[in-house]
Amino acid sequence: MVDSRRTIGTWFFGGALIVLFGSNQAMPPIVRLLSNVLWGALALGVLIDSILISRKIKRLVASASREHREARLALLLRDHAVDHVRRMRAPAPRVNIGDQV
C-alpha cells in the first residue's frame, strides 16, 4: 500500500537538505526564516501523513492481534525511513505509483 502512492516521506529527505543549507548562519535572515517554516511544514506533514497511513492500514488489516500492530509499524517505517527513495528500497516496490491495491 505504501509503495502505491506518493507520501510526504518521499519529499522529506530533499526538504531536510534544503533546511540544512538554508539554516546556515551565512544565509540572509529571510532564507533562514523560510527554512525554519519549511522544517515545521515537513514535520507537520509527516505527522499528518503517518496518521492517515495508520488509519488506512487499520482498515485494511482485519485482525486486531499483534500482527496488526507490527504491520502498521512496518508500513510506517517503510514510508518514512531513509530508504524512501523508490529506486533504493529494499525489497523493491512491487507496485507502481497510482496502482490500485
pLDDT per residue as tens digits for the range 65-80:
556 666 667 766 666 6
SS (H, E, C) 28-57: CHHHHHHHHHHHHHHHHHHHHHHHHHHHHH
pLDDT per residue as tens digits for the range 1-45:
566 667 777 778 888 899 999 998 999 999 999 999 999 999 998
pLDDT per residue as tens digits for the range 82-96:
445 666 666 676 777
- Cα-Cα-Cα-Cα dihedral sign, residues 46, 50, 56, 61: positive
CB atoms within 10 A of CB 60: 13
